[in-house]
Amino acid sequence: MALINDALSALLGSGESWNWFEHIHPASFRGVPFAVVSAEGVFGRRQAVHEYPYRNTAWVEDLGRGTRKMTIRGFIVHNSLAYDAPDVITQRNSLVAACEMEGAGTLIHPTLGELTVSVPDGGLRVLESVDNGRSFEFTLTLIESGLKVFAITGSTQAASLVQTNWLRTGLMAATKFIATVKGEIRSVTQTIKTLRNTAAFWVNMVKGTANEVTNLSNVLKSTFGSARYGRYSKGSVGGGVSGSTGAINRSDDTADYAGLVHQKMAEAVTGRADLLTLTATFESVATVDAFPVDARAIIDAVISVSGSVEEKIRMLETLASYRNATFYATDAENAIAQSATILLCVLSAGALAVVAADYEPSSYDDAILMLNRVCDTLDDVLLMAADAGDDDDYLNLLETRNALVNAYGQKGAELSSLTQVVMSASLPALTLANRLYQDAARGDELVQSVQPRHPAFMPTKFRALRK
């Protein structure tokens, strides 16, 4: 018997080390307290079961966490020793009013704590009887409630929202710019001169950063995979290892390596030439209406040009940081230059959000760093628009920012976080991958993440994915 008692104590815990009653929360709904006799909860995942002919097993599609449903059996009593409350009739009326109130309410569950729940039709059943006297028994059925938002099932859909907001932001910014500048025109010649001066400084930034985006090395790096073309390659051609999930990509290799290289080289050269042509047109802008159109054409070219996503982000960060420091003699010229600067920065910041939405982070930590980096740039442009009293551009760009945050919430939810790995000696990447993941094929992933001097001699301390 002593052996059995010791086993039960080890399983259930001793009363001296942990007292379950101390972890019970005083139950209430919308501030109305009550005593709980028992509680029941329903938990699980929503799933769609797909069955196929001549197949013994089904494919179960996960649709997210199921809605939590709870049933609480309790009572309210006059002169309760467990909670402070008025007479039992007032308690009953308060509980009924709380359950009939519109919208979701706060439930303090005895063991689950604070929850936001809704009461369905017939969710409160109150039992009154002579036998119970000054106490009322009740059964309360509750459904977990959340925010009034539409579900986004993947980062692709979330990224499309960024694109949609960007299109609206660009259109509204151009319309607002034309209206503002035409309202400030005192001399058409001087206005065009001011716009060309603003365009010239911004175009110099475009030319100075475009070479890195269209660099052939960066283009090929984002095209070929690490399985054959080097451990630092992040493309899909030839297969490789994902730095974000560790999944092995076994895409077919190209049968015409030279042809593909020539194709990518042609795309890079053509994209750079088209970009330079657009900048030349922008520098010689002749009308107020053409200024936002030409600027938007350059931004669209940057988004679509064949090149590294990381370099595009770096380029658009630079363009969004443009500030016009030229001195102008009149207030009208200053207002025109300021409007042009805000337009260019808003367009660059919106495009930055679009490109960042296509970025594939290597880990949860990488997603957070990139999101903070992009949001810092967006916040600077938002502050500039707010200081200038440009409410329309501010609100539109803010919606684009919110859509980007939502998109990265989808990306980060699917990624593993980084953890600190400490080894007693330097080991090859293959050995470490086998120890950490039980998969030696993920050695390239470790090399991409850690970037050692040689894969055979990994550092003794580094950060890697948890799984």
Closest CA to 271 of 211, 316, 319, 218: 211
pLDDT score for 278: 86
Phi and psi, residue 86, nearest 5°: -75, -160
Q: Which of 350, 340, 337, 336 is nearest to 381 (CA)?
A: 350
Give the count of beta carbons closer than 10 Å to the beta carbon of residue 277: 13
Give pLDDT, residue 283.
85
Q: Are 419 and 461 in contact (CB under 8 A)?
A: no
Neighbours of 261 (CB within 10 A): 16
Mean pLDDT score across all residues of the chain: 78
- Give the pLDDT score at 9: 56
Regarding beta strands 113-118 and 35-42, do their DSSP bridges make them parallel or antiparallel, or are they unpaired? Answer: unpaired
CA nearest neighbour of 455 among 465, 441, 438, 443: 443
Average the pLDDT over 433-448 and give the result: 76
Average of per-residue pLDDT across 112-134: 86
Percentage of residues in the chain with pLDDT exceeding 90? 6
Q: Return the DSSP state at 237.
A: B
> Is pLDDT larger for residue 354 or for residue 238?
354
Local confidence band at 211 (pLDDT 50, 70, 90 cut-offs)? low
Residues facing residue 464 across a β-bridge: 419
Residue 251 has pLDDT above 80, yes or no: no
| Pick from 366, 378, 376: nearest CA to 408 | 366
Rounded Cα distance, 43 and 66, in Å: 7
Name the β-bridge partners of 140: 72, 124
pLDDT, greater one: 41 or 333: 41
- Is the pLDDT at 212 greater than 90? The verdict is no
pLDDT at 1: 47
* Confidence band of 124 (pLDDT split at 50, 70, 90): very high
User: At residue 73, does pLDDT exceed 90?
Assistant: yes
Contacts of 223 (CB under 8 A, 6+ apart): 233, 235, 236, 237, 260, 264
| pLDDT at residue 462 greater than cutoff 90 | no
Q: What is the dihedral of CA 158, 163, 169, 175, to 10 degrees?
A: -150
Query: Could you give the CA distance from residue 303 to residue 463 in angstroms, rounded to a whole number?
Result: 32
Of 363, 362, 244, 264, the C-alpha closest to 305 is 264
Residue 243: pLDDT over 60: no
**How close are the terminal C-alpha atoms of the chain, in Å?**
45
pLDDT of residue 150: 42
List, for residues 225-237, the tens digit of each pLDDT value: 655 555 555 666 6
| CB within 8 Å of 438: residues ≥ 6 apart | none
Q: pLDDT tens digit string along 254-294?
A: 666 566 666 666 666 677 778 888 888 888 888 888 888 88
- Residue type (1 letter), 359: Y
* pLDDT, tens digit, 9 for 90 and up, residues 378-430: 999 999 988 888 888 888 888 888 888 888 877 766 666 677 788 888 888 88
| Distances 96 to 36, 39, 114, 140, 227 between C-alpha atoms, Å | 16, 19, 20, 10, 66
Share of the chain above pLDDT 70, in %: 77
